[in-house]
Amino acid sequence: MKHIGIVACSAEGAALCYQAICRDALQMVGKNDHPRITMDSIPLAAWMPSFDAGDYRGVARIMLDSAHLLAAAGADFAICPDNSAHRAWDHVQAETPIPWLHIAREVGAEAQRRGHRRVGVLGTRFTMDGPVYRDTLAPMGIGTMVPEADDYETVDRIIFSELVDGVFTDASRQAYDAVIARLRERGCDAVALACTEIPLLMRSDESPLPTLDSTRLLASAALREALA
């Protein structure tokens, strides 16, 4: 099995991704077994100045710092369970010592497999504003849509004031359900949970739209790659 490297950004999303790999491995590998996994976690506080400044070369430098550490530890490839960080993708790929899997490509592949044609995108302002999902899903024939102004602010605010700190409330879940319902009214047939903490808040069986869980889809892809 290949050695998986995890470049952690926020603790909650990275922990969920690690746990999902291990749980999937119970069925795909065996009891108490999974590929070797090494995680490097540079504090989110070190990332935020670059995000806030729109400095994606700066974000890439942090990711590459982790990638070099993971490569030295023996990782065969890397994943980053953080959607916003993928705005630095091209800068990372220019200098990375090991291959990476791309979170939005895994979400897009699952949307394509299910036959979705227009996907709502819930994430941080960096993800909703950026090209990560739009430019990845468009060549697959899948349109994307982000929430309108008030909903956009609500989604981003809850992520940074609650979810990244491990706070998950019924009020915020209901607020997100309302946002998703309005995306459905605008023509979306699925919603991407494109912040790796959102799956910890949402209940897929209660969502007004089918959900595409970016965290667990990336974890599943990493496990398949490790077993390939």
Domain that holds residue 23: 4-102+217-227
For residue 82 the two structure tokens come to 């953080």
Count of structural domains within the chain: 2
pLDDT of residue 69: 98
**Tens digits of residue pLDDT in 15-26:** 999 999 999 999
> What does pLDDT average to over the chain?
98
Q: Are residues 19 and 118 in the same domain?
A: no
pLDDT of residue 28: 95
Q: What percentage of residues in the chain have a pLDDT greater than 90?
A: 100
Q: Are residues 11 and 27 in the same domain?
A: yes
Q: The CATH number of the domain where 44 resides is what?
A: 3.40.50.1860
pLDDT of residue 151: 98
Q: Which of 59, 61, 175, 190 is nearest to 137 (CA)?
A: 190
The mean pLDDT value for 87-97 works out to 98
Q: Are residues 62 and 110 in the same domain?
A: no
pLDDT of residue 177: 98
Q: Is 145 helix (H, G, I), strand (E, B) or coil?
A: strand
pLDDT of residue 102: 98
Give the full edge-to-edge strand order of the sheet including 4-8: 37-41, 4-8, 77-79
Q: Are residues 167 and 74 in the same domain?
A: no
Q: Are residues 109 and 195 in the same domain?
A: yes
Q: Are residues 77 and 112 in the same domain?
A: no
pLDDT of residue 185: 98
**Tens digits of residue pLDDT in 93-137:** 999 999 999 999 999 999 999 999 999 999 999 999 999 999 999
Q: Are residues 140 and 110 in the same domain?
A: yes
**Tens digits of residue pLDDT in 155-209:** 999 999 999 999 999 999 999 999 999 999 999 999 999 999 999 999 999 999 9
Q: Are residues 83 and 116 in the same domain?
A: no
Q: Are residues 161 and 192 in the same domain?
A: yes
Residue 30 and residue 147: Cα distance in Å, rounded? 41
Q: Are residues 57 and 8 in the same domain?
A: yes
Q: Which of 9, 67, 69 is nearest to 41 (CA)?
A: 9
CA end-to-end span of the chain, whole Å? 8
Q: Are residues 98 and 110 in the same domain?
A: no
Q: Are residues 168 and 182 in the same domain?
A: yes
